[in-house]
Amino acid sequence: MLEQNLFAGFGGQGVLLMGQLLAFAGMLESKYVSWLPAYGPEMRGGTANCSVNISDEPIGSPVVSKATSVIVMNRPSLDKFESAVQPGGMLFINSSIIDRKAERDDIQVFYVPCNEIAEQLGNARVANVVMLGAYIEKTKCVDMENILNALLEKLGKTKAHLIPLNREALVKGAESVR
């Protein structure tokens, strides 16, 4: 298995965190993982993206140029990274704020209304976790429970009360693409 993922959106959407949670979950399952942010002199609200590899074998390039999955949280990211999906790969689109459809017909496309689902859950900030739920439902590359384990590690024990909300977000995200 080699999952080569690109996560992209604007700063504040939790795009880098999504990637880190996935990498962390992969590590918990003793897989090889790498997480690489595109770093730059960005302002708040600027673009953010990261490359995440998950594999059963040691990872070569940490830079994902042709992705098995591309996850886009805003329109500029779709415009920039639609072409980066490998033929036959998957494209996950945050349909809450992206106002166009994918143009490619050689890939699988999933539309996830991340913000709407998150708002229904009562916290707009879990939109990224909703998307992660959809991604995991389709790729099955890590166990959802390990995303929550990763989150707990990341947030610290004082934020453990947020775990049920995030579990709900993962589940709703997964249901949206079933």
Partner 1 sequence: MAKQLMKGCEAIAEAAIQAGCRFFFGYPITPQNDIPEYMSARMPKVGGCFLQAESEVAAINMVYGAAGAGARVMTSSSSPGISLKQEGISYIAGAELPCVIVNMMRGGPGLGSIQASQGDYFQSTKGGGHGDYHLVVYAPASVQEAIDLMQTAFDVADKYRMPVLILADGIIGQMMEPVEIKQGNASEPVKKDWATVGWSEKDFTRPRAVVNSLYIEVEELEELTGRLQARYAKIAEEETRVELYNTEDAEFMLCAYGTVARICKTAIAQLKKQGIKAGLVRPITLWPFPYKAVHDAIAAPSVKKALCVEMSAGQMVEDVRLAINGEKEIELLGHSGSRVPTAEEIAQRIIQMRGA
Kindly state whether residue 10 participates in binding partner 1, applying the rule CB under 8 A. Answer: no
Q: Which stretch binds partner 1 (CB under 8 A): 55-63, 96-104, 105-113, 127-135?
A: 55-63
Kindly state whether residue 63 participates in binding partner 1, applying the rule CB under 8 A. Answer: yes
For partner 1, give the closer residue by CB, 13 or 34: 34
Q: How far is the CB of 64 from partner 1 (least distance, A)?
A: 10
Q: How far is the CB of 16 from partner 1 (least distance, A)?
A: 10
Kindly state whether residue 105 participates in binding partner 1, applying the rule CB under 8 A. Answer: no
- For residue 72, give every residue at least 6 positions away whose Cβ sits within 8 Å of its Cβ, in sequence order, or none: 8, 9, 78, 81, 82, 91, 92, 93, 94, 98
Q: How far is the CB of 38 from partner 1 (least distance, A)?
A: 9
Among 45, 46, 60, 164, binds partner 1 (CB under 8 A): 60
- Site size for partner 1, by CB under 8 A? 20
| Subset of 19-48 contacting partner 1 (CB under 8 A) | 20, 23-24, 27, 32-37, 39-41
Chain residues that interact with partner 1, rule: CB under 8 A: 20, 23-24, 27, 32-37, 39-41, 59-63, 65-66
